[in-house]
Amino acid sequence: MRGPHNIIRLIRTGATFERTGAMDVILDAYDAPPMLRLVARLLGKPFMWLGYRGDPTMPPATRALTALGPAYIKFGQVLSTRPDLVGDDLAVQLRVLQDKLPPFPTAQARAEVQRELGQPVEALFSEFSEPIAAASIAQVHKARLADTGEDVAVKVLRPGIERAFRKDIDAFYFAARMIELFAPGARRLRPMEVITHFDGVVKGELDLRLESAAASEFAANTKDDAGFRLPPIKWHLSGRRVMTLGWADGTSLGDNAALDAAGHDRRELGERVLRLFLMHALRDGYFHSDMHQGNLKVAPNGDIIAYDFGIMGHIDEYTRRVYAEILFGFIRRDYKRVAEVHFEAGYVPADRDVDEFARALRAVGEPIFGMDASHISMGRLLAYLFEVTERFGMETRTELILLQRTMVVVEGVARSLSPNLNIWEVARPVVEDYIKQSIGPRALVKDLAQTALVLARFGPRLPRLVQNALIAQADPPPPPRGFGRAALAWTALAAAAMGALAMALVDHLA
């Protein structure tokens, strides 16, 4: 990391906000305290001449973020889904960051396609349009396959995007290191690990082969989800910098006027978006983690269509069960159980008092449940929860950052469709269903079946492992030669029988 370069980069960030007029907009949106305003002014005002001018036709915040580069644009995309945090005016300004950025020339896109796929564009596509959407990392063209006449969408990475992103993330690393150095109280949040995680996620977004694979897996998981579909991947026309998928007609989920004109029920759409996210996160452990309005459409028949699979989240089965219990406990207002789950999972040090922690959690939950439905917020709950867990020594779990961030984004999307949506009422049946499936007799039998199947696979090795362990402890005389074969046979048979019995019980319970 190049210190001087990053210092200049961060100063230029403040200067750009000042020069474009975005500083006042953002500080006012967050109702920033006087001290923060003073620091922001000291960072930006004297160096305003270093700031980027940006596109003067854009609103101030959008103008500043687009001028600063792709990582800043990603940040703006998240804020655009949270009018409850930044206000309606700023949210509308930032929404153009999702898919309405200035495109790069079509000639460059055609050259990228030819270079990546090894054939001239004319040989692959009978039509290849001007850009129809341009985002921070790539842009999309509508095309028609030369051999079948099928309409498709062709996604092409921006030329030089890897280098541009590297500059931004390098500055973020520097800022995180400064935070750890000068703000020891923030070390609990592990800012360096957070940036490392974010860096890895976006590196995956810069390889469209990985995005194609993610879309394929996501489609397999969600093929039976009513009211939800994905455009199919065209593998033979996809590579590292180019991705081709089926064309999907629909109305942007961010265009409320168009949704109303098409006769769609926005409240039902908001509820469905939230339910789908929770189902994918809890049921599958694999979820779309960039679910802003720019990546969602509504088909004429009402189906929600998702695309842009560069950032996908994954959480393992154990963690899903833990967080489902925590969320379910808050929904039921059973704060003692929420506290116990934190201790059982090792999230809070064992030497802390569970009853005191439960009382602190009650102080988090009760004010939220006393609010009007339009003000109940998972994002607000997470913010309060972090304050409490900090006091009890819980560290930030970087593997869950994407889940937490996506929860905030999805909530913002749902509330932009229906401001009075009761988040908890929508979430409750999904979480309850997952609890029933993952905790209880049926889940126990399923776990036993999986354990038995693993034992069956390792059956031939178990006698030798047991024998070696016994020899290592007691160094007894070697057993008769027939013992190994008999033990092998009995172990494999017992494991297979356990597996068969457990699977039969699963089928019976189902």
Residues catalogued as catalytic: 290
- DSSP structure class, residue 236: G
- H helix or E strand, kind and range, residue 154: strand 151-157
Other residues' Cβ atoms within 10 Å of the Cβ of residue 272: 22
Please calculate the CA angle 471-473-478 and round it to the nearest 5 degrees.
Answer: 20
Axis crossing angle, helix 423-438 with helix 401-417, rounded to the nearest 10: 140
User: What is the distance of C-alpha 414 from the center of its chain?
Assistant: 16
Cβ atoms of 304 and 273 closer than 8 Å? yes
Which residues have a Cβ under 8 Å from the Cβ of 435 and sit 6 or more positions away? 324, 325, 328
Cβ atoms of 70 and 164 closer than 8 Å? yes
3-state DSSP call for residue 488? helix
Please report, as a single letter, which amino acid is at residue 152.
V
Cβ atoms of 149 and 157 closer than 8 Å? no
User: Tokens 């009853």 — which residue?
Assistant: 355
Cβ atoms of 259 and 296 closer than 8 Å? no
Cβ atoms of 224 and 193 closer than 8 Å? no
CA distance 265 to 101: 29
Which residues have a Cβ under 8 Å from the Cβ of 380 and sit 6 or more positions away? 368
Cβ atoms of 45 and 18 closer than 8 Å? yes
Cβ atoms of 189 and 396 closer than 8 Å? yes
User: What is the distance of C-alpha 499 from the center of its chain?
Assistant: 35
Nearest alpha-carbon partner for 23 in 7, 37, 6 = 37
Nearest alpha-carbon partner for 365 in 349, 380, 352 = 380
CA distances from 341 to 284, 322, 346 (A): 21, 7, 8
CA distances from 93 to 7, 23, 60, 68, 100 (A): 28, 14, 8, 16, 11
HEC-encoded secondary structure of 370-408: CCCHHHCCHHHHHHHHHHHHHHCCCCCCHHHHHHHHHHH
Six-digit token string for 472: 């290592």
